[in-house]
């Protein structure tokens, strides 16, 4: 069972470069999320999607864009990377309307911006 | 956004002993869900246990149990008979009923001494 798959697992960028992180889930979940994890701060929500073609801002959306063209995929883009975006990024997905069900997480992407 | 507070950055426990991790949260909602996630060095986010606010009975999953005090807005996790494999960072998370998003605490790192 693949669950939630994130690509790539590691990446080093230079300031100003752009890149896209890919998240794919095979559980037919409606909801998908992107988080960033920084030391001492837990996970913070960047953007989320409640269905194909929809996106919404989370707690820390600045500097990021997202797209959900297909139900199973949720892309996170950095148009002009900054050192402050050095972090571990997690994608998650969950079922629609089943509020006690947990979010299922990918294994994370460690991103370093030099 | 709801605030979730984990006041213990680090906890250490002897193998086979018991450790309790604290979590408090701030909400005006009456219907919500609480989760504990485990993050080992592999970075995976693994659901440990969940609690529905409308249930008075504390949730239990094998060696893991919670002490849910709704009036005090407290949700502590007890790990009994600690094992070396329990060493990880543990995150408390809150989700309001009808909301898609999780709010995470900053995490508690648990070290298990052999």
Rg (CA), chain A: 13
* Omega before A8 within 30 of 0, i.e. cis: yes
Q: Is the pLDDT of residue A113 over 90?
A: yes
Q: Is residue B1's pLDDT more than 60?
A: no
Would you state the pLDDT for residue B98?
77
Look at A58 and B101 and tell me if their CB atoms are within 8 Å. yes
Among B41, B35, B39, B44, CA closest to B92: B35
Averaged pLDDT for residues A69-94:
95
List, for residues B24-67, the tens digit of each pLDDT value: 999 999 899 999 999 998 888 999 999 999 988 999 999 999 99
Please judge whether B44 and A107 are an interchain contact, meaning their C-beta atoms are less than 8 angstroms apart. Answer: yes
> Does pLDDT of A96 surpass 80?
no
Task: Tell me the mean pLDDT in the region B70-85.
Answer: 96
Beta strands B24-26; B3-5: pairing state: antiparallel
Residues of A in contact with B9 (CB under 8 A): 40
User: From B37, which residue of chain A is nearest by alpha-carbon distance?
Assistant: A102
Residue B43: which of A33, A88, A99 has the nearest Cβ? A88
Chain B: closest CA distance from residue A79 (Å): 25
Q: pLDDT (tens digit, 9 = 90+) per residue, A62-80?
A: 999 999 999 999 999 999 9
Interchain proximity B45–A41, CB inside 8 Å = no
Q: Point out which residues pair with A48 in neighbouring strands.
A: A33, A56
**Cβ distance A48 to A60 under 8 Å?**
no
Residue A60 pLDDT class (50, 70, 90 cuts) = very high
Interface of B with A in 26-65 (CB under 8 A): 33, 35, 37, 42-45, 47, 50, 52
Can you tell me the mean pLDDT for A87-98? 87
Contact A45 B102 (CB under 8 A): yes
């Amino acid at each position: 069972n693949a669950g939630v798959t994130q690509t790539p697992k590691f990446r080093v960028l230079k300031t100003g470069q752009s890149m896209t992180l890919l998240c794919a889930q095979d559980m037919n979940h409606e909801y998908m999320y992107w988080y960033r994890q920084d030391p001492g701060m837990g996970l913070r929500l960047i953007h989320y999607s409640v269905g194909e073609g929809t996106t919404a801002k989370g707690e820390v959306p600045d500097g990021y864009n997202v797209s959900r063209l297909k139900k199973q995929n949720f892309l996170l883009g950095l148009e002009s990377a900054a050192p402050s975006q050095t972090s571990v990024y997690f994608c998650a997905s969950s079922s629609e309307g089943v509020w006690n069900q947990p979010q299922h997480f990918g294994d994370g992407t460690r991103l370093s911006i030099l | 956004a709801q605030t979730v507070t984990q006041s213990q950055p680090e906890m250490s426990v002897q193998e086979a002993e018991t450790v309790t991790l604290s979590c408090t949260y701030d909400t005006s909602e009456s219907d919500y869900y609480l989760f504990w996630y485990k993050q080992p060095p592999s970075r995976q986010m693994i659901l440990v246990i969940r609690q529905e606010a409308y249930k008075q009975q504390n949730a239990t999953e094998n060696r893991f149990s919670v002490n849910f005090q709704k009036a005090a807005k407290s949700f502590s996790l007890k790990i009994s008979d600690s094992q070396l494999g329990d060493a990880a960072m543990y995150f408390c998370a809150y989700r309001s009923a009808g909301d898609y998003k999780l709010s995470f605490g900053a995490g508690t790192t648990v070290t298990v001494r052999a």
